[in-house]
Chain A
Amino acid sequence: MNPILFYLFSILMLGFGIAVVANRSPVASAMSLVVSFFCLAALYVGLDAYFLASIQVVVYAGAVMVLFLFIIMLLDLKAEQRRKFNKLAIGGGALVALAFAAQLLGVLGGHPRGDKPFPELKLPIGESLNDLQHVGETLFSLHTLPFQIIGVLILVATIGVIVISKRELK
């Protein structure tokens, strides 16, 4: 991936990620999250994961965010009022997150194995990477049991949502 594109999309992604946390209005947060997910999909394209990039756009930026906006508008959430801040909680939270980021910088600074450029893909002449076929082959040859478990999980989630949404729980 072109380093300029990488920096552009990473900075956009992190900036809109910060906007998700910093925005007072839930709708603005959700919109920032959509932009952040789109930039993440662009990073996936740069990593030659075209199938995951399209899934990211369709499932996350499409379905999940529509669900979020739907709930925000259903509950008619207004921008949060300024409440009196719990200074200890805010300071503690920021401190823990910053300590995590600093720790990460320290670990990655002493990580020479990851400090190498990405190896080139070896593809037949004149062909581009058909990653959807390879993901499908891996999924349906090596990971068939997890695939079926995921199917059951989605069924359970569907039934669970219906049960939770019933007005009267008996």
Chain B
Amino acid sequence: MTLTLNHYLLVSGLLFSIGFAGVLLRRNIIIIFMCLELMLNAANLSLVAFSRFNVGADGLPNFNAQVLTFFIITVAAAEVAVGLAIIVALYRARQTTHVEDITTLKF
């Protein structure tokens, strides 16, 4: 029983679906934000698996994918900082983190 690329892609896809379900099901903004992080990490896992799968002529993994993952982690950290600042500002204005109480932009 050896591991194949499809094993990792399947785990990554399932993690993405869990995050996706969380974004659709939960009504608390902070939990929705955590599920977004889960989805980003699922993408990272598949990138790292592809990097290890595509061993080049020099016998090393493809490091471009790992650099891309590094960039994704950096952008995600910046995104968390800005997003949480927005949530705090929203909480100060409305005293709620519940998405159903925030309907100003609702069609």
Contacts and interface: CB of A to CB of B under 8 A. Distances in A.
Interface of A: 1, 3, 6, 10, 13-14, 17-18, 20-21, 26, 29-30, 33, 36-37, 40, 43-44, 47-49, 51-52, 55-56, 59-60, 63-64, 67-68, 71-72, 74-75, 77, 80, 83, 89-90, 92-94, 96-98, 100-101, 104-105, 108, 111, 114-123, 129, 131, 134-135, 137-139, 142-143, 146, 150, 153-154, 157-158, 160-161, 164-165
Given A29-B31, A60-B41, A135-B67, A150 B74 contact: yes
B81 interface: yes
Contacts of A143: 64, 67, 71
Interface of B: 1-11, 13-22, 24-28, 30-31, 33-35, 37-38, 41, 44-45, 48-49, 51-53, 55, 58-61, 63-64, 66-67, 69-71, 73-82, 84-89, 91, 97-98, 100
A75 B81 CA distance: 15
Contact of A104 (B10, B44, B52): B10
Contacts of A98: 17
Q: Do most interface residues of chain B lie in helix, strand or loop, or is the interface mixed? A: helix
Nearest to A111: B6
Given A49-B66, A104-B17, A161-B81, A20 B22 contact: yes
Contacts of A153: 74-75, 78
Nearest to A124: B59
Contact of A48 (B9, B61, B64, B69): B61
